[in-house]
Amino acid sequence: MKKEVVMIISLVIISAFFMVVAMSLTFGSPAMTDMDDYFLRYGQEQTGTNNQCTSVTFDFRGFDTLGESTVLFCAVIGVALMFRRMQGGEEHEDE
Protein backbone atom coordinates (compact mmCIF):
# COMPACT_ATOMS: atom_id res chain seq x y z
CA MET A 1 0.00 0.00 0.00
CA LYS A 2 2.74 2.38 0.98
CA LYS A 3 4.71 1.42 -2.10
CA GLU A 4 1.81 2.25 -4.42
CA VAL A 5 1.29 5.67 -2.82
CA VAL A 6 4.95 6.47 -3.30
CA MET A 7 4.77 5.32 -6.91
CA ILE A 8 1.71 7.44 -7.66
CA ILE A 9 3.20 10.54 -6.05
CA SER A 10 6.48 10.16 -7.93
CA LEU A 11 4.57 9.58 -11.19
CA VAL A 12 2.59 12.79 -10.68
CA ILE A 13 5.75 14.77 -9.91
CA ILE A 14 7.62 13.40 -12.95
CA SER A 15 4.67 14.00 -15.30
CA ALA A 16 4.27 17.55 -13.97
CA PHE A 17 7.96 18.14 -14.66
CA PHE A 18 7.64 16.86 -18.23
CA MET A 19 4.48 18.92 -18.77
CA VAL A 20 6.31 22.09 -17.72
CA VAL A 21 9.13 21.33 -20.15
CA ALA A 22 6.70 20.48 -22.98
CA MET A 23 4.62 23.62 -22.43
CA SER A 24 7.65 25.90 -22.38
CA LEU A 25 8.87 24.61 -25.77
CA THR A 26 7.69 26.42 -28.87
CA PHE A 27 7.04 23.72 -31.44
CA GLY A 28 7.17 24.78 -35.08
CA SER A 29 8.94 28.07 -34.38
CA PRO A 30 12.45 27.40 -33.07
CA ALA A 31 14.45 30.19 -31.49
CA MET A 32 17.43 29.97 -33.87
CA THR A 33 16.77 29.36 -37.58
CA ASP A 34 19.77 30.92 -39.31
CA MET A 35 21.57 27.64 -40.01
CA ASP A 36 18.40 25.80 -41.12
CA ASP A 37 17.49 28.60 -43.51
CA TYR A 38 20.99 28.58 -45.00
CA PHE A 39 20.96 24.79 -45.55
CA LEU A 40 17.49 24.84 -47.09
CA ARG A 41 18.21 27.82 -49.34
CA TYR A 42 21.72 27.04 -50.62
CA GLY A 43 22.06 23.30 -50.00
CA GLN A 44 20.72 22.23 -53.39
CA GLU A 45 22.96 24.58 -55.39
CA GLN A 46 26.11 24.07 -53.34
CA THR A 47 26.04 20.28 -52.98
CA GLY A 48 23.78 19.20 -55.85
CA THR A 49 21.70 16.87 -53.70
CA ASN A 50 17.92 16.98 -53.40
CA ASN A 51 18.10 15.08 -50.10
CA GLN A 52 19.11 17.72 -47.59
CA CYS A 53 19.92 15.18 -44.86
CA THR A 54 22.57 13.61 -47.07
CA SER A 55 23.90 17.00 -48.07
CA VAL A 56 24.40 17.89 -44.41
CA THR A 57 25.88 14.57 -43.28
CA PHE A 58 28.19 14.01 -46.24
CA ASP A 59 29.10 17.54 -47.33
CA PHE A 60 28.54 20.29 -44.79
CA ARG A 61 29.35 18.06 -41.83
CA GLY A 62 31.71 15.64 -43.54
CA PHE A 63 34.02 15.39 -40.54
CA ASP A 64 31.16 14.03 -38.48
CA THR A 65 30.60 11.17 -40.91
CA LEU A 66 34.34 10.49 -40.99
CA GLY A 67 34.28 10.06 -37.22
CA GLU A 68 31.19 7.89 -37.49
CA SER A 69 32.90 5.57 -39.97
CA THR A 70 35.91 5.35 -37.68
CA VAL A 71 33.67 4.49 -34.74
CA LEU A 72 32.05 1.69 -36.76
CA PHE A 73 35.48 0.39 -37.73
CA CYS A 74 36.62 0.36 -34.10
CA ALA A 75 33.37 -1.35 -33.05
CA VAL A 76 33.97 -4.17 -35.53
CA ILE A 77 37.54 -4.57 -34.28
CA GLY A 78 36.26 -4.68 -30.69
CA VAL A 79 33.67 -7.36 -31.49
CA ALA A 80 36.35 -9.38 -33.29
CA LEU A 81 38.67 -9.18 -30.28
CA MET A 82 35.93 -10.11 -27.80
CA PHE A 83 34.65 -13.15 -29.67
CA ARG A 84 38.16 -14.35 -30.27
CA ARG A 85 38.75 -14.28 -26.51
CA MET A 86 35.51 -16.10 -25.78
CA GLN A 87 36.46 -19.06 -27.90
CA GLY A 88 39.29 -19.92 -25.55
CA GLY A 89 42.40 -19.26 -27.57
CA GLU A 90 41.11 -21.17 -30.57
CA GLU A 91 42.76 -19.91 -33.71
CA HIS A 92 40.24 -17.84 -35.61
CA GLU A 93 40.38 -17.45 -39.34
CA ASP A 94 40.69 -13.70 -39.30
CA GLU A 95 41.86 -11.01 -36.95
Partner 1 sequence: MRMSRIVRVAADLVYPAVLIFGLYIVAHGHLTPGGGFQGGAVIATGAALVIVAYSYAEVRKWLSGKVLMGQEVIGLMGFIGVALLALAFGQVFFFNYLNASGSLFGTPVPYGINAGELNTGGFVPLMNFSVGCEVWGGLTLVILYMMSGIQKEAT
Contact positions toward partner 1, by CB under 8 A?
41-42, 44-51, 53-55, 57-59, 62-63, 65-66, 68-70, 72-73, 75-76, 79-80, 83, 86-87, 93-95
Tally Cβ neighbours within 10 Å of residue 55. 19
CA of 69: how far to CAs of 6, 21, 60, 83, 91, in Å? 46, 35, 16, 21, 28
Nearer to partner 1, 4 or 45 (CB): 45
Nearer to partner 1, 19 or 92 (CB): 92
- Shortest distance in whole angstroms from residue 48 CB to partner 1: 4
How far is it, in rounded angstroms, from Cα 70 to Cα 90?
A: 28
